[in-house]
Amino acid sequence: MAQNWQELTNLTQDKDFLVERVRLEDSDIAIEGSFELPPLAKLSMQDQIFVTVFIQSDGSIKETERLFGVSYPTIKSRLKKIARQLEFVQLNAAPSKSDVLKRLDKGEISVDEALEMLK
């Protein structure tokens, strides 16, 4: 029987952990390995609840204030604390050398394009 995320968080006491087995729901397919959790899943349960409420209120600080019964500075402080725990996501990250070389090897890009990407 599957345990919910809150039970897992309680068991691990907010300590870092790796997932070593994943089973597809409604299937006998299981994958074993060492899987790091996504950044949002690494947040404490309280921070996950806060982020969920904030998102469900369409990112409205005013609505989040009302739901939690706290002030604007408290909400801003909590958001900043959570943001510091998350890595900055770079949307237009440069491709790695190995990715460029793989694309070149597959003929997806020319030598000149590969050189430009590696600059």
Q: Give pLDDT tens digits for 30-41.
A: 999 988 888 888
Instruction: Name the least confident of 14-23, 27-36, 68-77.
Output: 14-23
pLDDT band at 59 (very low <50, low <70, confident <90, very high): very high
pLDDT (0 to 100) of residue 44: 84
Q: Phi and psi at residue 112, in whole multiples of 5°?
A: -60, -40
Q: List beta partners, residue 31.
A: 22
- Where do the H-state alpha helices sit in the chain? 5-12, 45-56, 61-68, 72-85, 97-105, 111-118
User: What CA–CA distance (Å, rounded) separates 37 from 87?
Assistant: 13
- How far apart, in Å, are the Cα atoms of 38 and each of 50, 81, 109? 17, 18, 31
pLDDT (0 to 100) of residue 1: 44
pLDDT (0 to 100) of residue 18: 81
Instruction: Name the least confident of 42-51, 61-70, 73-82, 92-101.
Output: 92-101
Task: List, in order of start, the domains of the chain with CATH numbers.
Answer: 5-85 (1.10.10), 92-119 (no CATH)
Two tokens, residue 96 = 């790695």
Q: Give pLDDT tens digits for 101-112.
A: 988 898 988 998
Q: Is residue 92 over pLDDT 70?
A: no
**pTM of structure:** 0.59
User: What CA–CA distance (Å, rounded) separates 71 from 77?
Assistant: 10
Q: Is residue 55 over pLDDT 50?
A: yes
